[in-house]
Chains A and B, each alone.
Chain A
Amino acid sequence: MLLTDAEWVAVHLSLTVALRSVLMSLPLAIAIAWLLARRRFPGRTLFDAFVHLPLVLPPVAVGYVLLILFGRHGPLGAALERAFGVQLIFTRNGAALATAVMTFPVMVRAIRISLDAVDRGLEDAARSLGAGAFDRFCTITLPLMMPGILAGVITAFAAGLGEFGAVITFVSNIPGETRTVPLALYTALQSPNGNASAARLAVIAFTLGLTGLLLAELLVRRVHRRLGR
């Protein structure tokens, strides 16, 4: 094909990392969106700001914080390694974690907007029909949030394909393990005759991003139609 083996590896790795990051963050994003939309608790505004922090922080700073927390001697990194033998630093799972943190605000935001749009009256109706809290959430709230969840997942996935700063800071630039498309692109630009490779990777990044966004739009429209909106 048009790409070299190393470039294919980077594409594959980008997809893997983005997918894992989305899987990691989705349950937590739904839980936090629910907390922010439905609960009033002290410090809620501060918590809200904290969740959105990766949007405004330099990605390198996020990567640095992760490095401190999850590094081999970091408080969380050491505990993870002791308890499960899991190492995040210099691994694709670490890259997924860094990506998840960076795309988390986007996902929470999309899910929260769809949660705000859910008619509480329908939940009351379900309640009067005998559905308890968890039952209600699974059978009414969650299906009605689906457009937002889909939008959040796909946008986060598409954004995750391009995460650079946090990833390179936290897990470094290891071919086959953490060298995703943007890192490979950066590497190509650094090498004397990498221009052609850089151009190919840029086209790939462009295509993947656009496809993701279009797919999100189409899916969301479809779900809306199914809900009769």
Chain B
Amino acid sequence: MLSVRLKKRQGAFELNIAFESTASGLVALFGRSGCGKTTTVNLIAGLLRPDEGSIRLGDQVLYDSDTGINVPVEHRRIGYMFQEPRLFPHLSVLGNLRYGDKRAPRAARHIELDEVVELLGLAPLVGRRAWQLSGGEKRRVALGRALLSQPRLLLLDEPLAALDAARREELMPYLARLRDRLSIPVIYVSHEFDEVLRLATHVVLLDAGSVVAQGDVASVSRRPELRAIVGPEAIGAVVEGEIEALDATSGLARVRVGEGSLSIEAEGARVGQRVRVQLLARELILAVEPPRGLSVRNCLRGSVRSIAPDDARSELLEIDIGGASVVARVTTAASAELALSVGRTVWVLVKTVSLRGRVYQAVGG
């Protein structure tokens, strides 16, 4: 388990954060560029020295300003994949992979070279040099090198940021596999909410050097603080559920969500699989009586839990659908006309086609 409580001032910027992670799983540090994500991982790695605070990893104190403990970077045993691959140009891919491995204490070994080569598909690359690799390949090697240093914690600083869409898609499954196979916590820095939705088990939302929200993906996805970071059009609650049934003729799958279910397009899905669906606030339609005669495939019954202002003309309503919640954007005018108020029963409508590209495999699903 990792526990972080840190303060660091850099010029006019002040970082003041506290968060914890579980023993394994992926914690996403999410926020806009310049909010202090990279500074945070550099502080955890030990490359920057905090002004104040403490870092604990498992039962070891890595840093504590009160007792003066500050374990040097090279003894922290934290795997760090930087924003740039930073492969050693004078060594082969194999030389790079082995660099940390050779320096790790024997007793700490928990990841073997063969395992990493297999996990990251590195077999065809091992004899090459760094400059002979593509951007995606370089990142896979950098990831493998960090893993082979036998770390107790893995820091991934925007590993996909510099890649084009195709390369990102190529690397994403490796990251997901890694998260499921590793027994150590992973801190994943990102400014793309999409990556968080696909990979994170836990989210720490950073804004201007402070933690503004943290929790599981579903709960953070409903936080109003997210609006300022992802923009008003991208907000939407995430719900998780299990696939109950597949319809071979329509190609649709039914996902149990709260007390209702959603129809999704899920190629290659199987019954029992857990998925994560993001329901964009702007795509949801509310009705105050059971609707009939519509093409909309999904209708979830729920009750209004809260109403928050969105902008001058609209409101954001959080709807409890029984064991889960969604957020809908409604114009203030419509809200007044329907007399929407907290506690009111509503039906949430969402088109199956509007969920395209917003269905993700749930962690461990």
A binds B: yes
Footprint of B on A, CB under 8 Å?
A: 119, 121-122, 124-132, 135, 139-140, 143-144, 146, 226-229
Q: B88 contacts A130, CB within 8 Å?
A: no
Bound-state CA distance A126–B87 (Å) is 10
Query: Residue on B with the closest CB to A133?
Result: B74
Given contacts A121-B82, A122-B86, contact A128 B45 (CB under 8 A): yes
Q: A130 contacts B103, CB within 8 Å?
A: yes
Which one of A121, A131, A135, A226 contacts B86 once the chains associate, using CB atoms below 8 Å?
A121
User: Would you give the 0/1 interface string for B74-106, flagging 1 where the beta carbon is closer than 8 Å to chain A?
Assistant: 111111101010101110000000011001100
B354 at the interface (CB under 8 A from A): no
What count of chain B residues pass the 8 Å CB interface test?
A: 28
Q: B82 contacts A130, CB within 8 Å?
A: no
Residues of A within 8 A of B79 (CB): 128
Bound-state CA distance A129–B130 (Å) is 17
Which one of B47, B100, B104, B130 contacts A228 once the chains associate, using CB atoms below 8 Å?
B130
Q: A130 contacts B74, CB within 8 Å?
A: yes
Bound-state CA distance A224–B285 (Å) is 62
Q: A130 contacts B104, CB within 8 Å?
A: yes
Given contacts A126-B88, A130-B100, contact A228 B129 (CB under 8 A): yes
Residues of B within 8 A of A131 (CB): 74, 99, 103
Bound-state CA distance A226–B91 (Å) is 9
Q: A129 contacts B86, CB within 8 Å?
A: no
5 CB-based A-B contacts, threshold 8 Å = A125-B86, A127-B47, A129-B74, A131-B103, A227-B90
The list of the 5 closest CB pairs from A to B, nearest first, reads: A228-B131, A129-B100, A130-B103, A128-B80, A125-B86
Which one of A128, A132, A229 contacts B47 once the chains associate, using CB atoms below 8 Å?
A128
User: Would you give the 0/1 interface string for B93-122, flagging 1 where the beta carbon is closer than 8 Å to chain A?
Assistant: 000000110011000000000000000000
Q: B84 contacts A129, CB within 8 Å?
A: no
Which one of A119, A122, A128 contacts B149 once the chains associate, using CB atoms below 8 Å?
A128
Distance in angstroms from B139 CB to nearest chain A CB is: 13
B145 at the interface (CB under 8 A from A): yes
Query: Residue on B with the closest CB to A129?
Result: B100
Distance in angstroms from B42 CB to nearest chain A CB is: 9
Bound-state CA distance A41–B132 (Å) is 40
Residues of B within 8 A of A130 (CB): 74-75, 77, 100, 103-104, 149
Distance in angstroms from A113 CB to nearest chain B CB is: 18
Query: Residue on A with the closest CB to B101?
Result: A129
Q: A124 contacts B47, CB within 8 Å?
A: yes
Which one of A119, A129, A226 contacts B145 once the chains associate, using CB atoms below 8 Å?
A129
Distance in angstroms from A138 CB to nearest chain B CB is: 12
Bound-state CA distance A229–B130 (Å) is 11
Bound-state CA distance A146–B89 (Å) is 12
Q: B89 contacts A132, CB within 8 Å?
A: no
For the residues of A in contact with B, the DSSP-based class is: helix
B73 at the interface (CB under 8 A from A): yes
Bound-state CA distance A226–B95 (Å) is 14
Bound-state CA distance A135–B90 (Å) is 15
Bound-state CA distance A229–B129 (Å) is 12
Q: B130 contacts A125, CB within 8 Å?
A: no
Q: B99 contacts A129, CB within 8 Å?
A: yes
Query: Residue on A with the closest CB to B148?
Result: A129
Distance in angstroms from B170 CB to nearest chain A CB is: 22
Bound-state CA distance A139–B88 (Å) is 10
Distance in angstroms from A75 CB to nearest chain B CB is: 42
Query: Residue on A with the closest CB to B75?
Result: A130
Residues of B within 8 A of A132 (CB): 72, 74
Bound-state CA distance A226–B90 (Å) is 7
Query: Residue on A with the closest CB to B133?
Result: A228
Q: A129 contacts B103, CB within 8 Å?
A: yes
Distance in angstroms from B274 CB to nearest chain A CB is: 34
Query: Residue on B with the closest CB to A144?
Result: B90
Residues of A within 8 A of B80 (CB): 125, 128
Bound-state CA distance A36–B77 (Å) is 31
Query: Residue on B with the closest CB to A130?
Result: B103
Residues of B within 8 A of A226 (CB): 90
Bound-state CA distance A139–B89 (Å) is 12
Q: B86 contacts A127, CB within 8 Å?
A: no
Which one of B73, B88, B89, B131 contacts A127 once the chains associate, using CB atoms below 8 Å?
B73
Chain A CB within 10 Å, residue with most, of B74, B82, B84, B103: B74
Q: A128-B80, A130-B75, A130-B149 are in contact. List 20 more A-B contacts (CB 8 A).
A: A121-B84, A121-B86, A122-B88, A124-B73, A125-B80, A125-B82, A125-B88, A127-B47, A127-B73, A128-B47, A128-B73, A128-B78, A130-B77, A130-B100, A130-B104, A131-B103, A144-B90, A227-B89, A227-B131, A228-B129
Residues of A within 8 A of B103 (CB): 129-131, 135
Residues of B within 8 A of A227 (CB): 89-90, 131
Residues of A within 8 A of B72 (CB): 132
Query: Residue on B with the closest CB to A228?
Result: B131
Bound-state CA distance A134–B40 (Å) is 27
CB-contacts of B322-338 with A (<8 A): none
Residues of A within 8 A of B82 (CB): 121, 124-125
Bound-state CA distance A124–B89 (Å) is 14
User: Would you give the 0/1 interface string for B49-92, flagging 1 where the beta carbon is closer than 8 Å to chain A?
Assistant: 00000000000000000000000111111111010101011100
Q: B129 contacts A140, CB within 8 Å?
A: no
Residues of A within 8 A of B86 (CB): 119, 121-122, 124-125
Residues of B within 8 A of A125 (CB): 80, 82, 86, 88
Residues of A within 8 A of B74 (CB): 127-132
